[in-house]
Amino acid sequence: MVSYVKYLKCSRCGKVYYLDQKPIVCENKDLGRLDIYYDYKKVKEVFSKHILEKRRFYMWRYRELMPVSEDKNIVTLGEGGTPLIKAKRLAEELRVKNLYLKDETRNPTGSFKDRGMSVAVSMAVEFGYKVTVTASSGNAAAALAAYSAKAGLETYAFVIEEAGYGKVAQLLFYGAKVFRVKGLGKEDPTVKMMKLTYEKYGWYPSPSFGPFNPYQIEGPKTISYEVVEQLNWNIPDWVIVPVGAAALLTSVWKGFRDFKELGFIDNLPKLAAIQSTGNPPFVRAWNEKAEAFKVKPWPKPETIATGLEDPYPWDHDGGLKALHETNGVAEEVSDELILKAMKMLAKYEGIFAEPSGVASLAGYMKLLEERTIDRGDTVVVLITGHGLKDPDIVKKVSGDAPKIEPKLEDFEKTLRERYA
State the pLDDT confidence band at 124, using cuts at 50, 70 and 90. very high
pLDDT, tens digit, for every residue of 169-214?
Answer: 889 999 999 999 988 766 788 999 999 999 999 999 999 998 999 9
CB 12 within 8 A of CB 26: yes
CB 87 within 8 A of CB 99: yes
Q: What is the pLDDT of residue 373?
A: 98
pLDDT: which is higher, 122 or 3: 122
User: Closest Cα partner for 175 from 195, 213, 148?
Assistant: 148
User: Structure pTM?
Assistant: 0.95
Q: What is the DSSP string of 248-260?
A: HHHHHHHHHHHHH
Q: Which helix (H) or strand (E) holds 100?
A: strand 98-103
Q: How far is CA 304 from CA 120, 218, 333, 339, 355, in A?
A: 28, 28, 11, 9, 6
Q: H-type helices in 64-129, by residue range?
A: 88-94, 113-127
d(CA 339, CA 398): 10
Average pLDDT, the chain: 94
What is the mean pLDDT of the segment spanning 103-126?
97
Task: Output DSSP code: residue 111.
Answer: B
Domain regions of the chain by residue span: 84-110+217-397
| pLDDT higher than threshold 80 for residue 137 | no
Q: What is the pLDDT of residue 242?
A: 98
Q: What is the pLDDT of residue 33?
A: 95
Q: What is the pLDDT of residue 165?
A: 78
d(CA 67, CA 90): 38
Overall CATH class of domain 84-110+217-397: alpha beta
What is the mean pLDDT of the segment spanning 383-393?
85
Q: What is the pLDDT of residue 91?
A: 98
Q: What is the pLDDT of residue 5?
A: 98
| pLDDT higher than threshold 90 for residue 101 | yes
| pLDDT higher than threshold 70 for residue 34 | yes
| pLDDT higher than threshold 80 for residue 167 | no
pLDDT, tens digit, for every residue of 207-238?
Answer: 999 899 999 999 999 999 999 999 999 999 99
Q: What is the pLDDT of residue 31?
A: 85
Stretch among 3-7, 32-36, 89-93, 162-166 having the lowest mean pLDDT: 162-166
Q: What is the pLDDT of residue 134?
A: 96
Stretch among 42-46, 278-282, 395-399 having the lowest mean pLDDT: 395-399
Q: What is the pLDDT of residue 170?
A: 83
CB 155 within 8 A of CB 131: yes
Best-predicted range by mean pLDDT among 137-151, 152-166, 330-344? 330-344
How is the beta sheet containing 16-17 ordered, strand by strand? Answer: 16-17, 5-10, 34-38
Neighbours of 174 (CB within 10 A): 21
What is the mean pLDDT of the segment spanning 315-340?
97
Q: What is the pLDDT of residue 1?
A: 67
Amino acid code (one letter) for 347: K
| pLDDT higher than threshold 90 for residue 390 | no
d(CA 233, CA 219): 20
